[in-house]
Amino acid sequence: MIGALGARTIQDVVNAGHFGRFAWRSVNTSARSCVSRRTYPLVWTQIYLIGWLSAPVIMITGAFVGMTLAVQAYDQLAGMGLEEHLGTLINISVVKELGPVLAAVMLAGRVGGALTAELGTMNVTEQIDAVRSMGTDPIRYLVAPRLLACLLLTPVLIIYADVLGIIGGALVSFLQFGINSRAYWDLSAYGVDFWDVGVGVVKGFFFGAAIAVISCYKGFTCQEGAHGVGQACTEAFVSSFIWILALDFALAVISKNIYEIFWPLKSLVG
Binding site for other proteins (CB under 8 A): 125-127, 129-130, 132-137, 139, 141
Rg (CA), the chain: 22
Sequence-distant (≥ 6) Cβ neighbours of residue 92 within 8 angstroms: 191, 192, 196
At closest approach, how far in Å is the CB of 123 from other proteins?
11
At closest approach, how far in Å is the CB of 131 from other proteins?
8
At closest approach, how far in Å is the CB of 130 from other proteins?
4
What long-range pairs does 93-97 form, CB within 8 A, spacing at least 24?
A: 93/69, 94/62, 94/65, 94/66, 94/69, 94/161, 94/162, 94/165, 94/166, 94/169, 95/162, 95/165, 95/166, 95/192, 95/196, 95/197, 95/200, 96/196, 96/199, 96/200, 97/200, 97/248, 97/252
At closest approach, how far in Å is the CB of 113 from other proteins?
18
At closest approach, how far in Å is the CB of 11 from other proteins?
9
Nearest to other proteins of 133, 257 (CB atom): 133
Question: Pick from 157, 161, 200: which is nearest to 63 by CA?
Answer: 161
At closest approach, how far in Å is the CB of 196 from other proteins?
41
Sequence-distant (≥ 6) Cβ neighbours of residue 240 within 8 angstroms: 108, 112, 210, 211, 214, 215
